[in-house]
């Protein structure tokens, strides 16, 4: 019997799915599918008895395959023939569900229509065949646009037009390098008549070291968020690792290789230790490594699945089994903190032919005491040398080209980095009942990513060259409600790192220390946890652990700092420089300040108002200082449009 807790879980899941339905109603194709239309109904009415926890009469209704297999009474779904389908007969007569929570007439009609139309599934294939070689980014982008535009047409949602060059420049510079473009960069780009200027800009940005740093920061933060969510423990900041990873990305090393290195790492804990390993270890020198925590975190970030639910029992609505969870955990069972570093402690009595298996511990889990052999998720049990560390074997499987989870999870995360929303949301929750909004698009990109040797630059080019990415973020009345189909660009919020680096650009200063902040003279001061930048980031990170890039997370204390800290009112270095260089050209100074902050020139009305404002102040320096202050405090600065 499902426990009360399980039922509650099922209920909240049903609510969630209902929300999903509402959100996607506009785009629902005429033909119902199991995952999008029927599973939500089954989840709230049937899975408590025919799901992962209980399977009455041998019937499991969680997946298309299981439904087609039927239960002890035989087939329950005969595609095309509802009258012959046990599922329909039982729910039509209200014989099922047996409790009072009967299925509504409207929902019954959906189930019937689904059976009649052939009982279709949009389940994402678990087999994955990446192409032999990568395509040209421009042609991948075209294919992506076709997929996205097709969906928009079906939903009768017209896309917004392309962004103008200024909007595009600011967005792509922030997204790729993590900072706004300077006025000089903007002037050069806006003056260009080259028809290929956007593609060239993308290539140029990808050659900057800041590209590597930005992507490394994003990745390390993804791990931080996960480990903070699961353990509530914030980890030590190891910026040297972020820098090292950034350099490796900039050098063009494959993502698979970097992940393998991170996972198989053996050795001391130093500044350049691959931090994600420690992060999902919930690293604490005094604590023991929690293999279940590691397995749960790793499956979320690296595989994009919420496998942790299967720690104690089979997943109630997805078909992850408890053995999938523990089979994966078994690869890490020997992982130990050895001499203050990471290593594998293998029992001396182990011989190479022994089975590598982990015992499910007690404490509430089902099947406690059962030994589960190492097994790849939804895959086979590999032949292992039990006397050797198993992490490298796991890392090889994880990062292999044929593993659909690895490529899809990173592609989804990267898409969300650029679009403010993944194909699958939450980013780490790939499961049958949460299908991607654009399954063909995510598999196309995942295939390209794998075929390119996991070249992150290739992935970024494919994404940034799409029209979908280059559309304006100004919605039209017809598409303003759309959040899932990429009809217009989402407005994203700068991360604290982006905000700091962009403020440095805007003020033309190398760093922004609060006046009362102590100056540190250690090596740490440039990049360490006490560096000016790290402290700024911590303050602006505030209370947020959200992965949603469209969520504004800066509160009143952060706003007050931006408004009132002296650094943001003194004009930085830029106002003085402009006044020296162009003492008689206030329009030019104003234009430059606009370009250097919000990446556009003021319109005629603004120009008049701002210049009048400057003349009202006691000196031009003060006037332009305050102009810069309003620009830095405007939504246009902190939001990535």
Partner 1 sequence: MTISSFSRRGWLRSVVAGLTGSHWILPALARAAQAQGARRHKACILLFMNGGASQHHTFTLPEREGQFAPIRTDVPGIQISEHLPRLATQMREWTLIRSMSTGQPDHAVGRELMHTGETPSTVQRPALGNFASDQLGVADFELPNFITINGIGTSGPVFVSRPAYLHPRHAPVEIPNPDSAMDNLISGMTEGQLSDAVALLQASQRRFLAEREVPSARLQQSSHDQALRMMRSDRVRAFDVTREPRQVRDRYGDTDFGKGCLLARRLVEVGVPFVEVVYNGWDDHGDGVAARNIRMRSPVMDCAMSALVEDLKARGLLDSTLVVWMSEFGRTPNFGPGRDSSLGGGHWARAWTTALAGGGIRTGQVIGRVDARGAEPTDRPVSAQDFLATLCAILGIEYTREYETREGRPMSFLRRNARPILELLGS
Instruction: Please identify which residue in 542, 581, 582, 583 interacts with partner 1, judged by CB under 8 A.
Output: 542
Q: Which is nearer to partner 1, 399 or 434 (CB)?
A: 434
Phi, psi (5° rounding) for residue 274?
Answer: -60, 110
Binding status of residue 336 toward partner 1 by CB under 8 A: no
Q: Which residues pair with 55 in a beta bridge?
A: 50
Binding status of residue 515 toward partner 1 by CB under 8 A: no
Of 73-81, 435-443, 458-466, 560-568, which part binds partner 1 (CB under 8 A)?
560-568
Q: Which residues pair with 120 in a beta bridge?
A: 33
Binding status of residue 8 toward partner 1 by CB under 8 A: yes
Composition of the chain by helix, strand, coil, percent to 5: 50, 5, 45
User: What track of x and - describes contact with partner 1 for positions 402 through 441 (by CB under 8 A)?
Assistant: -----------------------xx--x------------
Q: How far is the CB of 375 from partner 1 (least distance, A)?
A: 26
Instruction: Please identify which residue in 352, 556, 584, 615 interacts with partner 1, judged by CB under 8 A.
Output: 556
Among 113, 121, 40, CA closest to 80: 113
Binding status of residue 551 toward partner 1 by CB under 8 A: yes
Give the C-alpha separation, 640 to 172, whole Å: 9
Q: How far is the CB of 406 from partner 1 (least distance, A)?
A: 23
Give the C-alpha separation, 492 to 415, whole Å: 13
DSSP letters, 427-455, are TT--BTTB--SSHHHHHHHHHHHHHTTS-
The CA distances from residue 61 to 32, 94, 189, in Å, are 17, 17, 56
Binding status of residue 162 toward partner 1 by CB under 8 A: no
Of 326-334, 353-361, 523-531, 625-633, which part binds partner 1 (CB under 8 A)?
625-633
The CA distances from residue 553 to 32, 40, 58, 322, 395, in Å, are 38, 32, 48, 37, 35
Q: Which is nearer to partner 1, 80 or 555 (CB)?
A: 555
Binding status of residue 581 toward partner 1 by CB under 8 A: no
Instruction: Please identify which residue in 569, 576, 611, 621 interacts with partner 1, judged by CB under 8 A.
Output: 569
Q: Which residues pair with 343 in a beta bridge?
A: 336
Binding status of residue 476 toward partner 1 by CB under 8 A: no
Instruction: Please identify which residue in 557, 581, 588, 608 interacts with partner 1, judged by CB under 8 A.
Output: 557
Residues 6+ apart with CB under 8 A from 152: 158, 159, 485, 486, 487
Find out whether 182 and 214 touch, Cβ atoms under 8 Å.
no
Find out whether 632 and 198 touch, Cβ atoms under 8 Å.
no
Q: In the range 189-248, which residues lie near partner 1 by CB under 8 A? A: 228-234
Of 4-12, 54-62, 94-102, 271-279, which part binds partner 1 (CB under 8 A)?
4-12
Give the C-alpha separation, 353 to 386, whole Å: 6
Please give the residue ranges that form the binding site for partner 1 (CB under 8 A).
4-5, 8-9, 12-13, 15-16, 18-19, 22-23, 228-234, 363, 425-426, 429, 473-475, 480, 483, 491, 493, 542-546, 550-552, 554-561, 563-566, 569, 609-610, 613, 616-617, 626-627, 629-631, 633-636, 638-639, 641
């Amino acid at each position: 019997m499902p426990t009360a807790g399980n039922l509650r879980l099922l209920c909240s899941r049903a609510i969630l799915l209902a929300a999903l339905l509402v959100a996607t109603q506009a785009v629902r194709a005429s033909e119902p599918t199991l995952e999008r239309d029927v599973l939500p109904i089954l989840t709230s009415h049937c899975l408590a008895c025919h799901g992962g926890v209980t399977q009455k009469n041998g019937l499991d209704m969680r997946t298309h395959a299981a439904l087609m297999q039927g239960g002890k009474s035989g087939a329950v779904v005969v595609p095309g023939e509802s009258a012959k389908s046990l599922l329909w007969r039982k729910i039509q007569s209200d014989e099922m569900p047996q409790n009072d929570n009967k299925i509504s007439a409207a929902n019954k009609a959906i189930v019937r229509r689904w059976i009649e139309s052939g009982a279709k599934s949009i389940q994402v294939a678990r087999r994955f065949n990446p192409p032999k070689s990568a395509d040209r980014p421009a042609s991948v982008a075209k294919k992506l646009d076709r997929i996205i535009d097709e969906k928009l047409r079906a939903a009768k949602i017209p896309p917004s037009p392309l962004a103008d060059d200024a909007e595009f420049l600011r967005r792509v510079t922030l997204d790729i390098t993590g900072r706004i473009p300077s006025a000089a960069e903007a002037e050069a780009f806006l003056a260009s008549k080259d028809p290929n200027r956007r593609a060239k800009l993308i290539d140029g940005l990808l050659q900057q070291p800041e590209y590597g740093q930005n992507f490394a920061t994003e990745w390390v933060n993804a791990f931080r968020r996960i480990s903070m969510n699961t353990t509530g423990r914030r980890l030590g900041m190891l910026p040297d690792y972020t820098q090292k990873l950034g350099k490796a990305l900039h050098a063009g090393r494959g993502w698979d290789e970097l992940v393998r290195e991170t996972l198989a790492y053996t050795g001391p804990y130093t500044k350049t230790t691959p931090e994600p390993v420690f992060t999902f270890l919930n690293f604490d020198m005094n604590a023991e490594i929690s293999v279940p925590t590691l397995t749960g975190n790793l499956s979320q970030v690296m595989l994009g699945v919420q496998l942790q639910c299967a720690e104690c029992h089979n997943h109630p609505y997805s078909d992850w089994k408890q053995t999938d969870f523990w089979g994966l955990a078994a690869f890490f069972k020997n992982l130990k903190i050895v001499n203050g570093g990471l290593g594998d402690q293998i029992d001396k009595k182990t011989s190479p032919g022994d089975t590598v298996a982990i015992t499910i511990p007690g404490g509430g889990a089902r099947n406690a005491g059962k030994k589960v052999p190492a097994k790849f998720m939804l895959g086979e049990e590999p032949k292992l040398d039990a006397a050797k560390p198993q992490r490298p074997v796991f890392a090889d499987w994880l990062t292999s080209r044929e593993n659909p989870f690895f490529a899809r999870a990173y592609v989804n995360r990267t898409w969300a980095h650029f679009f403010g929303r993944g194909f699958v949301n939450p980013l780490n929750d790939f499961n049958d009942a949460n299908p991607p909004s654009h399954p063909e698009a995510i598999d196309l990109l995942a295939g390209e990513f794998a075929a390119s040797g996991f070249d992150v630059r290739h992935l970024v080019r494919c994404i940034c060259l799409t029209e979908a990415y280059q559309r304006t973020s100004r919605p039209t009345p017809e598409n303003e409600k759309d959040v899932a189909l990429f009809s217009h660009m989402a407005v994203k919020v700068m991360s604290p790192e982006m905000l700091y680096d962009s403020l440095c650009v805007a003020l033309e200063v190398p760093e922004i220390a609060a006046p009362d902040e102590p100056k540190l003279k250690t090596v740490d001061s440039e990049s360490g946890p006490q560096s000016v930048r790290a402290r700024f980031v911590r303050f602006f990170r505030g209370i947020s652990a959200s992965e949603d890039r469209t969520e504004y997370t800066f509160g009143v204390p952060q706003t007050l700092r931006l408004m009132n800290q002296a650094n943001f009112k003194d004009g930085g270095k830029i106002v003085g420089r402009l006044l020296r260089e162009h003492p008689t050209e206030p329009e030019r100074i104003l234009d430059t300040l606009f370009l250097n902050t919000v990446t556009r020139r003021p319109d005629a009305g603004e120009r008049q108002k701002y210049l009048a404002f400057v003349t009202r102040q006691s000196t031009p320096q003060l006037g332009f200082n305050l102009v810069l202050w309003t620009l830095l405090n405007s939504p246009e600065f902190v939001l990535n449009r």
